[in-house]
Structure 1
Amino acid sequence: MALLGAQLVITLIMVSVIQKLSNYSFARWLLCSQGLYRYLYPDNSELKTLAGVPKDKPKHKKGGKNEANGKAETFHVPRSLDLQLETAPVTALDVVHLRFYTEYLWIVDFSLYTSIVYIMSEVYTAIFPLKDEFNLSMVWCLLVVLFSFKILLSLTKQYFTSEESIGERSTCIVAFCAFLLIAMMVLIVDEKNLEVGVDPAYDSFYENASKFLENQGLSSVGPASKLILKFSFAVWAAIIGTLFTFPGLRVARMHWDSLRYYNENKVKSLLLNLNFAMPFVLVLLWVRPVTRYYLTERVFSGMEKPLMSAQAFDTLRLILVVLTVTLRIVLMPRQLQAYLDMAQRRLDVQKKEAGRITNIDLQKKIASVFYYLCVVALQYICPIVMCLYLTLMYKTLGGYSWTSLFYEKEEMCSAVNNTAASSTVEGVEQFQLAWENLKMVFTEEVYKGVFGFATWWCCFSWFITTSLGMAYQTYFRIS
């Protein structure tokens, strides 16, 4: 109880810090203090000058109303108009009115605060290990995951409510079916090949849940069958894959455009390519014959033991996920600027087209790029935030360590909780015994399976969607 009280103190301190730092925002700093610049659309006067359209004075009707009857002036200009857009730095006053700005501000800042809470909790529990107390930092991590899921769901929902998004709607439906099929295929792969931990988690859950039902005097054949649980996992995985589809395509487009600017800068090109390829490396870390076998089991010639222990390999996976997310956040301003540069690229493509376009459509084509900046930022940040905090929950609830990569961790006896839960309890304490037995159902093995599969699948969906987007850019070179 003392440790739980200490965790409550940490939580209260963080709530107080959040209130004190409400005027400072890491999310706003990423958008407004990293040198991002937006493109300004030309006004009607400039368009008329370039297109040679005469600047007539507006004619008036009776009562002083003009011909446009209060509507915006509309005229046509050639598509091949030689137009170079002016730029302006992105400021806090510019972004505050953008769509989904509040959601972007909330998820980024709350994720930062959660990371601070998690670090403080990890340091404290490393000094004073938890016994029967619940780690409150897991609640914060779970909230981040749920908020990220809700935001991605809101973004995807726009494709089903807009009448102009028929193609995007069809893409979401196809993606759901494809990811559902892939997930069902993944879930039948043996643990010797893909160690997501679903089968051991189910075995542990089934055994402990059956004992719990017997202890409560309930007659039951046990929890749900493995087939039903795996199908439920597959449906969840298909939803995640669908939500990651358009963010993945968007990230691939921004990566493609960023490489155009750094072809001659080898260091930045290397970082961008490493940033793009790391999800593939993360996916391979759960494929036993490719990574774990060579790093933890095989003894190479001239060596007496494998390259690393099993615990060190588990820690390596966790650290690489954290480093990958950190690299993506560092490169985020460059990727967002590549998106903002789309306004000028749209005009450069339009110059090659014949025909004419109205001034309103031309201005909307340019202004819409900046208008959706926060939407693009959410598509970039939400998937990696979800991967990060699922990994942190996987580490903590799965009983892994951050230090096993550097020195061996001694195995802890797992029989302590069992003896405590099986002690004789009378009267009012029987409820506490039932609660302890219920906690015994959700063991570390169960958490390893649930969060191991969730972490690996998010990395896999992240990799698949960005790879499809990159393939689309390579073969079709859309603009």
Structure 2
Amino acid sequence: MALLGAQLVITLVMISVIQKLGPHFSFARWLLCSTGLIRYLYPTDAELRQLASIPKDKAKAKKGAKTQANGKASAETFHVPRSLDVQLETAKVTRLDVIHLRYYTEYQWLVDFTVYAVVVYVITEVYQTWFPLKDEVNLSMMWCALVLLFSVKLLLSLTVQYFKGEESVGERSTCIVMGFIYLLIAMVILIVDENTLELGLENAYNSFNQSASAFLTKQGLNSSGPASKIVLKFFLALWCGILGSLLTFPGLRVAKMHWDLLKYFRERKLVQILLNLSFALPFILVIFWIKPVARTYLTVRVFSGMSHPLLTPHAFETLRIVSIVLTVGIRLVLMPWYLQAYLDMAYNRTQEQKKEAGRITNIEFQKKIAAVFYYLCVVTLQYVIPIIMCLILSFMYKTLGEYTWSGLFREPPDPNECPITPPSQSSSIDPFSSSESIAQSAAEFHLALENLKSVFSAEVFRGLLGFSTWWCCFVYFATTSVGLIYQTYFSAI
């Protein structure tokens, strides 16, 4: 009996790689420092005084008067016209610049760990192509689960910041309102018939209820099921509302960067088409779960001149997963453009300020420019976390749902039609072993694992992970669409 086998070796090797390679190479750091990002430097006090024609002695006199009034030293403060023609200097983003930014450590850990988890997943998938996993635990799913936990934790950490301080009342209200809106949307979606929106939750509930009832009966407990369908759907809708609230500001941020990119490339139509296509890809993913539009059209309808549909059911499932992976790849390739659009906000702010009347202090002017770069890692997290969640959920949906990557090329056997071999009741203890108690414990763990697998079957995972994948894609598109609508019709920019 092999509980882990070669997968344990893969995991241990990857842990060693993290320890040895991590301090020297970071994919997250490469994305920020080696993709040509340009940041804007705020003007110094001397440059502002020169542009505003403020004598240095006068500024010193004001500083001395303020120091005497407060009884302590303070930063030199003076006023300059808002319409001051300031030309911001630029510099490439380097490693020394980003290591002190807020949330840089969290960003680096999440992205790098995601890369390692994807590598473990790919190696495991290749390994089980030739050596199918039978009695082994798929450790790559544990890596994927950890990535999801880290992503949700960081989303919570970012959202909590809006509930601290009195200056974030608007953001706080937006999170709460959007959370209730997505809760309502989720409750409506969960009552839609499966023939229209094939989420797979009905089959998942029936499979789980029957398996759990059989398991409880086997343990001597009388039960008709672990929970009612309404209760389970309510908690599922509650989680959907929370996730929608957490993804609200990441979606709005991506929409703002997308809008700025469209304005920057207004003369390059092909680039605009590429950007709009990448923006609409999550919507195409959402359509894949609408049965009359996607499955019926591709797997049931027979077009004229053809003897069979375009795709088989398994090929259609594989197409869903491959489409998500390709979408994530495209968004990752375009990531430097989006981040540069965010960094260009510093330049845009100075241009907008030139149109304003009145005066502004040097400290406020410098903070307005410096804050853009200071929150670069926060914005990067808001960009990458949604696509990471979509990617990891699609991996788990494929593996735990027992689909195949080769579904587009051949029809794999249906796991539901394969005979299920009940767990062996015979003793697997080596009679020559000197540790019978350890072997007995291993046999009991194996039996418990088999019972647990019978409860959480592939049908259950297809429903839960399929719905989770679809909802993540839906919320991602919905929030970015709301942000783009706001930029188009309500923004003054």
In which range does the TM-score fall when normalised by the shorter chain? over 0.9
What corresponds to 2:115 in structure 1? 112
Structure 1 equivalent of residue 482 of structure 2 = 468
- Name the TM-score, length of structure 1 as normaliser: 0.95
2:15 alignment partner in structure 1: 15
Q: Is the Cα–Cα contact under 8 Å of residues 35 and 336 in structure 2 kept in the other structure? A: yes
Which 10-residue stretch deviates more, 74-83 or 331-340? 74-83
Hey, what's the Cα distance between the residues in 2 that align with 1:469 and 1:390? 24
Q: Secondary structure at the match of 1:357?
A: strand
1:63-462 paired onto structure 2 within 5 Å: 69-412=72-415, 416-417=419-420, 419-421=421-423, 423=425, 432-462=446-476
- Separation in 1 of the partners of 2:492 and 2:113? 36
TM-score (norm: length of structure 2): 0.93
Change (3 A) 1:400 1:431: closer
- The 3-state SS of whatever aligns with 1:409 is coil
Q: Deviations over 1:71-108 (max 9, x none)?
A: 11111111111112111111000000000000110011
Q: What is the CA RMSD across the aligned residues, in angstroms?
A: 2.0
- Give the residue type in structure 2 aligned to 1:17: V
Give the superposition deviation at 1:16: 1.2
1:145 alignment partner AA = L
Q: Evaluate the alpha carbon distance shift between residue 33 and residue 430 of structure 1 in structure 2; reply closer, same or farther with a 3 A threshold.
A: closer
* Structure 2 gap segments, 5+ residues each: 429-439
Which one-letter code corresponds to 1:239 in the other structure? I
Paired residues of 1:60 and 1:66 also in contact (CA < 8 A): no
| 1:390 positional shift | 0.6
**2:391 is matched by which residue type in structure 1?**
L
**Secondary structure of the equivalent of 1:264?**
coil
Matches within 5 A, 1:25-44: 25-44=26-45
Is contact 1:250-1:469 (8 Å) kept?
A: yes
* Paired letter, 1:53: I
| Counterparts of 1:453 and 1:181, CA distance in 2 | 16
Identity %: 62
Q: Does 1:50 align with 2:51?
A: yes
Question: How many angstroms does 1:328 deviate by?
Answer: 0.6
How far residue 296 of structure 1 moved from its aligned partner, in angstroms, is 0.4
Equivalent residue letter for 1:142: A
Residue 477 (structure 1) aligned with residue 478 (structure 2): no
- Residue 431 of structure 2 corresponds to which residue in structure 1? none
Residues 466 and 431 (structure 1), Cα distance of their counterparts in 2 relative to 1, 3 Å cut: closer
The number of equivalent residue pairs is 476
Mapped partners of 2:200, 2:53: distance in 1: 69
Q: Which moved more, 1:121-130 or 1:68-77?
A: 68-77
Q: What is the CA deviation profile of residues 231-277 of structure 1, one whole-angstrom value per residue up to 9, with x for unaligned ones?
A: 11101111111111000000001011111222233332222111101
Q: What is the CA-CA distance between 1:161 and the residue it aligns to?
A: 1.2
Q: Would the aligned equivalents of 1:425 and 1:433 in 2 still touch at CA under 8 Å? A: no
SS of match in other structure, 1:38: strand
Per-residue CA shift, 1:438-462, capped at 9, x if unaligned? 3210000000011001000000000
Larger deviation, residues 108-117 vs 43-52: 43-52
Deviation at 1:423, TM superposition (A): 4.5
Is the CA contact (8 Å cut-off) linking 2:250 and 2:382 kept in structure 1? yes
For residue 360 of structure 2, give the secondary structure of its aligned residue in structure 1.
Answer: strand
Q: CA deviation at 1:432?
A: 4.9
Q: Which amino acid aligns with 1:421?
A: P
Corresponding residue number in structure 2 for 1:6: 6
The unaligned stretches of length 5 or more in structure 1 are none
2:283 counterpart letter in structure 1: F
8 Å CA contact 2:3–2:135 kept in 1: the answer is no
